[in-house]
Structure 1
Amino acid sequence: MDLLSDITQHLLRFSPDALIVVDASGRIRFANQTVTQLFGYAPEQLQDKPLDTLIPERLRGKHVSHLTAFLNKPGNREMGARIADLFARRADGSEFAAGIRLAPFEIGGALFVAAAIRDNTERQQINEALIAAREDADRANRAKSRFLATASHDLRQPIQTIRLLNAAMLKVSPPDLRELLQQQERAIEGMTRMLNALLDISRLESGAIEPQVTNVPLLELFHQLITEFESIAQARGITLRIEPAALIVSTDRNLFYQLLQNLVGNALKYTDHGEVAVTCVADAAALAITISDTGIGIPSDKLDRIFDEYYQVDTQGAKRMGVGLGLAIVKEVARLLGFSVSIASRIGQGTQATVNIPHRFLAAVPTGNDAASSVEPVEGTTRRARVLLVEDNDGVRLATELFLRFEGFVVKSAHSAAEAESLFANCQPGDVIVADYHLDSRNTGLDLLTRLRQRLGYDVPGVVLSGDLPSVLRSVRTSVPNCRFLSKPVDTVALLDAIDELSVAREQAQD
């Protein structure tokens, strides 16, 4: 027992923390040796002194209220856990940030409080540095979000102009220039893909994307994939086979399409012959959508890195395409949606990318749908529609107008929301509106289309274009009938198909 008593005495006197004991009146009744190192007082100098001796004058009033509250409801706790300005005063008058742990106890019915005190100056400096770093990071994220909003619109505008002008020149150029224009078209496509990938990964990393869940029919998404990639596959001499699936997935439509879009685009990019196929298999646990190709394949020792940003596999001397962000985007989008993606591949035998969608995301299967006809693109349509174009960028407006006229459309255009109102005054049945979403601070292209529909009493067909389509679609809370949303730089085939489909749908509704 004597040894235990000695140990206890030494622990009290030489504890790493300064220890003091105060009574209910706030007077110091005990101080250990560590107090000297921390405060500069000998223990006997503090005997029977008020606790205010160790508190800066500016904080003594606040301290009295805290001590009173503690004595009214004593308990083991850290003093000042929610107080930013908890400081102690040394014998020489200097101050330091203090960490204080309190523990009440009784002796003979009298209440005492033990306080363990340490210098928290370094900890406070670290916390202040962390707070400053977080504020810097928040400012950087806000700046990044502003940049993305600007870049999504402004950087895409000149590419849109070049793309449309190139398509228009292809229509009227002599054969000896057509090959050069086709090479230029492929360069524009590559530039567009890289810009989209860089903006997409930046937006995902900044946390600026929140999934907006709705019921998404796979038939519609697969039809959109065919519309976008059929012409690319044909140009490369590859068969694109997408098996219809009458299933509905409860998810964010735009993110889900972006995921499939990247996987199908990747498969086509690395396939020189054969086919790219999209198939679905559902069981009790999950829906598996597999995108398989007969392309060059991926070495087994590289499979664990293919989802890394900016990483590209050097396969059998194949040339690099893109910037290596497609699968990084797929991985991040899948995480946001609650899905998973796996890749299987063998060199020379192709690749299979499988999206696993847990069963809880599957909604009711629709009935009475003709799956095969639902995914067939519109073919053989006659372009009779007149296009009313609203675009505030002069270069994009002139290029779009020129391209559509070479495709056989009658085009009337306006460069502002105010001018569009005059243009729409002559809107006729069968006209299709093509409008940029971002027009001015008060009007969007969708606003103009909505007001026109209200005035005429029917759903005037419309195509809305945007350089920041994901953000636009998230802001559109309800489905917009008889309207197509396309991303800038717009795919010329997708634009023509959208106008054709809307024209045919309007004619069928009139019949």
Structure 2
Amino acid sequence: MSFFNDQSDSTEPMDSRQVQQVALEKISYMHGFAKTSTPATIIAPLLCIPLFDSVDLGSNFHIWLGMMVVAVMVRIFLIRSIRLDDNAATNFAKLNWAVGIVTSVWGLGWLMLVPGMDPVNYLIYQVISLTVLFVGMVGYCVHWKTFFSFALPLKITELLFIIIHSQFIIWPIAIGSLVNFYLALKMGFFFSKSWEKSMALRFKNEKLFDQLVQEKNVSVAANIAKSEFIATASHDLRQPMQAINIFVELLNLNNLKEVEKSIFQKMRCSITVLNKMFNTLLDISKLDSKMDTAYATFELDAMLDDLIPSFQQLAAEKKLDLRFDHEHFMIHGDANLLSQLLINLLSNALQYTTSGSVKVNFSNDQGKLVLTVSDTGCGIPEEDLPFIYKEFFRSQRSRPQHDGLGLGLSIVSRILHRTGGSVSVETEKDKGTVFTVHTHFDITGMAADSTPQLDPDTQAPLTSAKESPDSLHLGILENDSALMYAYLEFFVSQGYVVHPIPHEEAEFKHALMTIPKLDFILSDYRLGDKDGIYFIEQLREEFNQAIPACIVTADTAPQHLTLFKQLDIEVLYKPMDIASIAKFVGNRIG
């Protein structure tokens, strides 16, 4: 079997630059190995002195040892003369001579030393020879020519020794050594070729990566240019459209003939469509500009109150049954983005439904808001489903019947990508479509009941002072219901608008939405899982001001005094009469 039977592969041939880089990496690796193995090259011959000291080898051992000293010195000189920025062929030649000259002396040992040895020492030298061979294979097999330069001088002389002393050698050991030599050469050759192939694949991958980066940059640049064009066009075109809208509103239909009225109504419908298109382009522009999301807690009812009337009018014009099914949720999220989601899904549903109904449902899925919009419209063709979220995509089936830019579902997709939500669709031809949106907006509770909050025992209002522009708003956190009622009765009688604030986390967040302002916070220290400091800091952050605050506590630990002072929180210690507390609050507010 030939060593050089290379298997064909599909790897592209390397260009001259890549060939030079492969040569540089090869010489760099082998040069580094040669330098680090120099101590071993020096120590190994020295160990032979005590090892063969008892063997009568005459002057041959001293001659061999002298030759080894010279070979090692030449090796060190050649290794040190290699410069990685030199010509690759020159460096390979220096390295091949450096590694070959030392193994040549080890090979001469077969002819100069081994013939005078007993079988035990013969075996020792055989082990040394094989060790040198396999250590060299580790360092030089990345370049098969260098490895051959290393291995051939070592083993060719052993083969010559076997031929000359065939009647004295131990044949199983000799044959095993030659087989190992053959396998080492073969492994070195194929490892070198495999290494070159891996380098070629690396170059190919780097080239593909560079192409991908370039294509990505082109795509990003095109997307930016598109977004800038949309933003600019939307702005510049909206200016004259605004004038047209005003002029249209100034026209008095009563001064027009019936034919002209009909034309005018059609023109107004066209203008309405254009306005919707511009608004959609503006929405896309805002989303592409990566405007920050504005998370806050809001009432779902309040958001829907602004949207429902216009959609009800559109549904009435098409004689569609439009229904909204939802609880009175308090939502923590971006109300504007949620509104855009609903507007685009509902507009699509109403546009593509000619009879039947459109239903909107808001539900709670493990504390997250889920929006479902279902209709009894024409459905979405199966072949169009992979493309419905792409911008400017419009189905060929519906394009002739409906106006639009094909941006509605693209806006939905962008909003959900920004806020971490997801959307799924179920559709059936001529029976309708259901879009289900899973948002990452938290449902924090239910909207406050409009009926007055009454004490469970007396049914008296807990807060009753009528608010005026000069009224002072006092927030109270107290987990003792009797003490809370006493606070309420007293401070209301003093003319304060009192806000009892719950200390349960969910109820606390809900209560924040009902408090217009706070002039002072009065709190107990120990309030279940959280303390008064936590709630005071939350209230200050919510109202974005350092609201004066006082903790009334029975806890007199000195470390708390330092903490209260650092946070600019006053402290009063129980027991204390309520009149004194009121006087303290009044002084701090005044």
TM-score tier, shorter chain, comes to 0.3 to 0.5
TM-score, normalised via structure 1 length: 0.46
* TM-score, with length taken from structure 2: 0.41
Q: Which has the larger radius of gyration?
A: 2
More strand by share: 1
The structure carrying a bigger helix percent of its residues is: 2
